[in-house]
Amino acid sequence: MGIFSLITGLPGLSGFGSASTAEQVTEGIDASNLTAIVTGGASGIGAETARVLALRGAHVVIAARNMEAANETKKLILESNPAARIDLLKLDLSSLKSVRACANSFNAMNLPLNILINNAGVMFCPYQLSEDGIEMQFATNHLGHFLLTNLLLDKMKSTAKGTGVQGRIVNLSSIAHLHTYEEGIRFDRINEQDGYNDKKAYGQSKLANILHANELSRRLQEDGANIIVNSVHPGLIMTNLMRHSLTLMRVLKVFTYIFWKNVPQGAATTCYAALHPSLKGVTAKYFLDCNEMKPSPLATDETLAKKLWGFSEKLVKLAT
């Protein structure tokens, strides 16, 4: 999948390409026996992902920070699909307390869990620390999802074992993982304001998403769990994620408009990774435009992935 395919929308080996929509890549798929959590499902590609998964019959739990927006999204989904099964949970990924509360709330619902889509995030925000004292982009984009995933793993394992249906975890990364700090992850200076760069900090968090997926995949395979974990780059889409650099992005879009997608196209790779039968057993891969792509050398560094896992465990204080 090169620049020509990106511009023209011509399909790759999967049969899909940059012009494919979430509805198109899931056409004919019956997800009525599946339950999915979509973080950040109140707006943008998260909302479209939730809508399409519900359209295919899945029971969708939208986990979102803005509950007013989440309720509006639920209302819109039900207007177009009255049979949709949608539940809402409060989740602020920048708060480890909120992440734990969300996981507890979901477990109290006594639902199975087949699919976890780690979609929510922040982008290019000015330097700030989360309530737990962690740099905001790393805290929200990586650490919150790292903790949430770990807290829901037992539920996913038991669901996969009890139903025989392979579980799927999808981490939304970005091509921005190529543009990070020189060392990849600033382990010793993760919270330092000195040398902070909002673009590189975002790239660092997106690199962490891929490393997390790869190391989790390795651990699940070692454990014999019937769960696959993959990362995706949704493409360039104008959403609320760009609120901290809206003017810059609008100017950029004028000169690079041929590379941008609309929201239905932006949600396609996520939905493909979450539902498409061709990915059964496919794990620790990185997808762009619904086709497997090779990420950066840092993203496939197993030593770096293991180091990030241990570092993240310490930050969230998980027992190993």
> Looking at residue 287, what is its pLDDT?
98
Catalytic residue IDs: 196
> Looking at residue 253, what is its pLDDT?
41
Checking phi first, is residue 212 left (phi over 0); if not, alpha (psi -120 to 50) or beta?
A: alpha
> Looking at residue 164, what is its pLDDT?
98
DSSP secondary structure string for all residues of 223-244: HT-SEEEEEEE--EE-SGGGGG
> Looking at residue 257, what is its pLDDT?
47
Task: Tell me, yes or no, whether 219 lies in a domain.
Answer: yes
pTM of the model: 0.92
> Looking at residue 318, what is its pLDDT?
79
Please count the structural domains in the chain: 1
Residue 129 and residue 137: Cα distance in Å, rounded? 9
Task: Tell me, yes or no, whether 235 lies in a domain.
Answer: yes
Query: At 69, which CATH number?
Result: 3.40.50.720
Task: Tell me, yes or no, whether 14 lies in a domain.
Answer: no
Q: Which residues of the chain have pLDDT under 50?
A: 1-4, 242-245, 249, 252-257, 320
- Domain span holding position 83: 19-316
Task: Tell me, yes or no, whether 1 lies in a domain.
Answer: no
For 104, counting Cβ atoms within 10 Å of its Cβ (0-12 exposed, 13-18 middle, 19+ buried), the class is exposed
Q: Are 61 and 88 in contact (CB under 8 A)?
A: yes
Task: Tell me, yes or no, whether 76 lies in a domain.
Answer: yes
> Looking at residue 244, what is its pLDDT?
46
